[in-house]
Amino acid sequence: MNRRIHPVVLVLSVAATAACGNTEQVQRQADVAAAGAEVMPFDLDATTHIFEKLEDGGLQTVIADSEDPEQISRIREHLSEEAERFARGDFHDPAKIHGEDMPGLHVLVMGHDRLRVHYEDVVRGAEIRYSSDDPAIVQALHEWFDAQLTDHGEHAQAPN
Range among 28-32, 145-149, 155-159 rated most confident: 145-149
Give the pLDDT score at 64: 95
CB-CB contact of 128 with 86 (8 Å): yes
All residues at 6 or more sequence positions from 6 whose CB lies less than 8 Å from its CB, including other chains:
none
Q: Which residues pair with 120 in a beta bridge?
A: 127
pLDDT tens-place string over residues 113-145: 999 999 999 999 999 999 999 999 999 999 999
Winning range, highest mean pLDDT, from 45-59, 97-111, 141-155: 45-59
Q: Are 118 and 51 in contact (CB under 8 A)?
A: no
Q: 158 φ, ψ to 5°?
A: -90, 155
Q: Where are the domains of the chain?
A: 7-157
Mean pLDDT confidence for 64-87:
95
Handedness of CA 84, 65, 156, 52 (dihedral sign): negative
Average pLDDT, the chain: 80
Dist CA 84 CA 14 (whole Å) = 46
Q: Do residues 49 and 59 make contact, with C-beta atoms less than 8 angstroms apart?
A: no
The count of C-alpha atoms lying within 13 angstroms of the C-alpha of 136, restricted to the half-sphere facing its C-beta, is 10
Q: Is the pLDDT of residue 18 over 70?
A: no
Q: Strands 156-157 and 47-54: what pairing?
A: parallel
Residue 113: its pLDDT value, please? 97
Report the pLDDT averaged over residues 28-48.
Answer: 65
pTM: 0.75
Q: Is the pLDDT of residue 74 over 60?
A: yes
Q: What percent of the chain has pLDDT over 70?
A: 71
pLDDT at 17: 37
Residue predicted with more confidence, 71 or 45 = 71
Confidence of residue 158 (pLDDT cuts 50, 70, 90): confident
Cβ atoms of 118 and 129 within 8 Å: the answer is yes
> In this structure, are residues 111 and 134 in contact, taking their beta carbons and an 8 Å threshold?
yes
